């Protein structure tokens, strides 16, 4: 049998990655095309003979090359550039706190969970404590540090963030995963030319800061809708609210309008290494100094928190009563800038941190998630030598397979009670997802993983909710495939 095969790929500016495959078998031409990671769509043509079929195939391939497609090897794609934060590791082996008066005090560490690799991602809420490391491991822990769930993603975790009920992991592979179901699902795919530094999500809008000092915004479909250049490079800070993007790079801290991308204000600081936000202010962890509090409204510096060195991470307690900064030490300041205490982590630099209900959680360069009782009562007890017994915990030894983000469980129609049915439809040249169940807006689309979309397919989800700004729905919980009746 005479055969010929052509395979092309294209990475578009909106962040989608497509393939185009043509197989010639005698007089038959089979064409398959679509988004990489899906089966795509198929068509066939029958010509007079092999020569005519090959000529037809070459013409189709040439047309695609004119549109930017390039020859590729199936399953082998150029690895995107990955940059990780520089890490200073502490050589200290004991967690000893220094009070403002200089008295040495041991740290009230409640528990210490070792993930096995340098960790960047952290998020804490009422339900659980999430941590992700650069090996791609994500652990969901209870508030005693015990593992509830664990995932393995294809590449390292850069950060874990929350957008109301939704929890996301931004990863080195350029994907942002929704962690709300039993299996992680790809919520956003970031253009391969973006050397991702940090990410944030607000009301379904994704913001990315990168090595070149760009701010990249993507909508709920993962389509890039804006790219703005800051004054510097190495943008380690990006935070979003409903109006602005708060951004930090080597030149300083700035605010960009989400509506039109214009710069709202710029505040010159040392190189920004991390960012945190509260309702009225942003906090920039900067090199050579510590943390700067900057007014969201005016862009003016409100307060400085001097760590005498760079802050790789920062956070605040509720209402900003206390401000925390981290490197190979953790510093606690009162709101007015007074140093309350400082301590070595004893397990590497604090790369991200979060305060939650009296506890300070930090993830470190050695891969630990530590829980410190930072309440005034605990600190006062520690000064008198009254300390909690630290529980030392390690990640489970069993190996977890990389999550199969395209795998779907199937449900029968009889199993859909209380759930929502969706359908994948063709909208121009794109596949979109709409709600089939009654009681929802028929003209609204649903934020849905691109790598699960198949034209005409029906899906079942636990729940959907309107986006805060309206105009589309968001999936909450698990996704299933609906079996044909």
3-state secondary structure of 56: helix
Where in the sequence of the chain do the CATH 2.40.50 domains occur? Answer: 409-482
Tokens 């039993």 label which residue?
182
Rounded distance between C-alpha atoms, residue 103 and residue 341, angstroms = 10
Non-local (6+) Cβ contacts of 16 within 8 A are 35, 189, 222, 450
Instruction: Kindly indicate the confidence band of residue 105, based on its pLDDT and cuts at 50, 70 and 90.
Output: low
CATH architecture of 3-71: Single Sheet (2.20)
pLDDT of residue 376 exceeding 90, the answer is no
Q: What is the pLDDT of residue 93?
A: 47
For 96-394, CATH number? 2.130.10.10
Instruction: Kindly indicate the confidence band of residue 13, based on its pLDDT and cuts at 50, 70 and 90.
Output: very low
Rounded distance between C-alpha atoms, residue 275 and residue 291, angstroms = 9
Both structure tokens of 257: 């309008």
Contact between residue 204 and residue 446 where contact means Cβ atoms under 8 Å apart: no
Rounded distance between C-alpha atoms, residue 327 and residue 285, angstroms = 10
Query: Which among 291, 280, 273, 198 has a CA at the least distance from the CA of 241?
Result: 280
DSSP, res 389: P
Non-local (6+) Cβ contacts of 72 within 8 A are 7, 8, 9, 19
Contact between residue 180 and residue 477 where contact means Cβ atoms under 8 Å apart: yes
Both structure tokens of 180: 């709300």
The gap between the terminal CA atoms of the chain, to the nearest Å, is 40
Tokens 């070459």 label which residue?
58
Where in the sequence of the chain do the CATH 2.20.140.10 domains occur? Answer: 3-71
Both structure tokens of 351: 């790369």
Both structure tokens of 208: 């990315």
pLDDT of residue 358 exceeding 60, the answer is yes
Q: What is the pLDDT of residue 126?
A: 96
Contact between residue 32 and residue 15 where contact means Cβ atoms under 8 Å apart: no
Both structure tokens of 359: 């506890």
Both structure tokens of 245: 């993007």
Indicate the range of 23-37, 121-135, 424-438 predicted with least confidence.
23-37
Non-local (6+) Cβ contacts of 48 within 8 A are 27
Q: What is the pLDDT of residue 387?
A: 81
3-state secondary structure of 428: coil
pTM (2 d.p.): 0.82
Indicate the range of 196-200, 305-309, 394-398 predicted with least confidence.
394-398
Rounded distance between C-alpha atoms, residue 187 and residue 179, angstroms = 10
Which helix or strand (DSSP H or E) is residue 51 part of? helix 50-66
Q: What is the pLDDT of residue 471?
A: 93
pLDDT digits (tens, 9 = 90+) for 313-349: 999 998 889 999 999 889 999 999 999 988 888 788 8
Mean pLDDT to the nearest integer, 280-302: 97
State residue 57 phi and psi, 5-degree precision.
-65, -45
Both structure tokens of 273: 């290494």
Q: What is the pLDDT of residue 14?
A: 45
Strand ranges (E), 318-438: 322-326, 329-334, 339-344, 350-356, 359-364, 368-373, 391-394, 409-411, 420-427, 430-435
Q: What is the pLDDT of residue 37?
A: 66
pLDDT of residue 200 exceeding 70, the answer is yes
State residue 268 phi and psi, 5-degree precision.
-70, 130
Rounded distance between C-alpha atoms, residue 92 and residue 206, angstroms = 38
For 409-482, CATH number? 2.40.50
Where in the sequence of the chain do the CATH 2.130.10.10 domains occur? Answer: 96-394
Mean pLDDT to the nearest integer, 139-146: 97
Kindly give the pairing relationship between strand 205-210 and strand 196-202. Answer: antiparallel
pLDDT digits (tens, 9 = 90+) for 239-274: 999 999 999 999 999 999 999 999 999 999 999 999
Mean pLDDT of the chain: 90
pLDDT digits (tens, 9 = 90+) for 446-475: 999 999 999 999 999 999 999 988 899 999
Rounded distance between C-alpha atoms, residue 53 and residue 73, angstroms = 22
pLDDT cut 70: percent of the chain above it: 93
Contact between residue 450 and residue 190 where contact means Cβ atoms under 8 Å apart: no
């Amino acid at each position: 049998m005479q055969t010929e095969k052509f395979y092309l790929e294209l990475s578009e500016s909106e962040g989608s990655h497509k393939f185009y495959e043509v197989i010639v078998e005698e007089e038959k031409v089979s064409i398959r095309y679509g988004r990489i990671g899906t089966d795509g769509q198929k068509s066939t043509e029958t010509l007079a003979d092999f020569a005519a079929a090959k000529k037809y195939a070459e013409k189709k391939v040439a047309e695609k090359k004119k549109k930017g497609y390039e020859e590729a090897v199936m399953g082998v794609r150029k690895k995107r550039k990955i940059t990780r934060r520089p890490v200073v590791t502490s050589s200290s082996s004991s967690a000893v706190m220094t009070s403002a008066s200089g008295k040495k005090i041991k740290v009230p560490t409640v528990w210490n969970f070792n993930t096995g690799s340098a960790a960047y991602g952290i998020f804490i809420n009422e339900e659980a404590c999430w941590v992700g490391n650069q090996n791609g491991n994500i652990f969901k822990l209870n508030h005693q540090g015990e593992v509830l769930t664990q995932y393995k993603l294809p590449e390292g975790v850069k950060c874990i963030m929350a957008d109301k009920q939704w929890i996301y992991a931004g990863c080195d592979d350029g994907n942002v995963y929704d962690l709300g179901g039993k299996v992680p699902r790809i919520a956003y795919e970031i253009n391969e030319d973006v050397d991702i530094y940090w990410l944030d999500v607000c009301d379904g809008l994704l913001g990315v800061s990168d090595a070149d000092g760009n701010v990249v915004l993507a909508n709920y479909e993962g389509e890039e809708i804006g790219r703005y250049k800051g004054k510097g490079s190495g943008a380690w800070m990006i935070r979003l609210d409903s109006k602005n993007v708060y951004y930090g790079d080597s030149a300083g801290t700035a605010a960009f309008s989400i509506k039109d991308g214009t710069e709202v204000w710029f505040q010159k600081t040392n190189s920004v290494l991390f960012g945190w936000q509260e309702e009225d202010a942003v906090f920039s962890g900067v090199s050579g100094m510590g943390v700067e509090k900057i007014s969201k409204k005016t862009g003016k510096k409100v307060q400085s928190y001097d760590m005498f060195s760079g802050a790789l991470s920062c956070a605040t307690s509720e209402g900003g009563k206390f401000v925390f900064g981290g490197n190979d030490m953790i510093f606690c300041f009162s709101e007015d800038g007074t140093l309350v205490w400082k301590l070595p982590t004893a397990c590497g630099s604090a790369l991200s941190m979060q305060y939650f209900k009296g506890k300070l959680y930090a993830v470190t360069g050695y891969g630990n998630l530590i829980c410190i009782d930072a309440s005034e009562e605990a600190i006062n007890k520690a000064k008198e030598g009254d300390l909690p017994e630290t529980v030392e915990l390690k990640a489970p030894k069993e190996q977890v397979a990389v999550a199969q983000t395209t795998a779907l469980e199937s449900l029968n129609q009889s199993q859909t009670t209380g759930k929502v049915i969706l359908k994948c439809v063709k909208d121009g040249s794109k596949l979109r997802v709409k709600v089939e169940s009654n009681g929802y807006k028929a003209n609204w689309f649903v934020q849905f993983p691109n790598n699960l979309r198949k034209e005409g397919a029906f899906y079942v989800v636990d729940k959907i909710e309107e986006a805060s700004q309206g105009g589309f729905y968001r999936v909450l919980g698990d996704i299933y495939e609906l079996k044909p009746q």
